[in-house]
Amino acid sequence: MSEDLANAFPTVDPGMRPLGSRVLVQIKSAREKTKGGIILTNEDRSTEKWNTQIGKVISVGPLAFHNRNTAELWPEGAWVQGGEFVRVPKYGGDRFEVDGALFVVFNDLDLLAVVTADPLQIKAFF
């Protein structure tokens, strides 16, 4: 993992694992300065933090991506696995912070997309 990626997704133990059909996602941390070295204000960092919709899947509940009635895996299989990057909704989920890292527990159906490009190239909306 590159240093920039490690800074965006610092290794923090969330202290929990999701149950049922839920997915635990770590939201990308806000940058402190631009690539050009300009230090971002607290307001800019706060805006980026709360508008960022890219996350790293930390863990997946045992019933995620399974039929709710039969507990069988969906025909298309699991959409994501731990370690993959995803696009998540701005609102929703159960949000909490641990050691400055923002985590969200989403229902498996709430994940919007798998990020196939560099997750650091996707910018927050200001």
What is the band of 1 on the pLDDT scale with cuts at 50, 70, 90?
low
pLDDT in tens, 87-125: 999 899 999 999 989 999 999 999 999 999 999 888 766
CATH 1.10.10.60 applies to domain 3-121: no
- Which residues on adjacent β-strands are paired with residue 94? 105
**What is the rounded average pLDDT of the residues 5-32?**
93
- pTM assigned to the model: 0.88
What is the C-alpha separation between 64 and 44, in angstroms, rounded? 35
**36-40, 66-70, 83-87: which has the highest mean pLDDT?**
83-87
What is the C-alpha separation between 80 and 92, in angstroms, rounded? 19
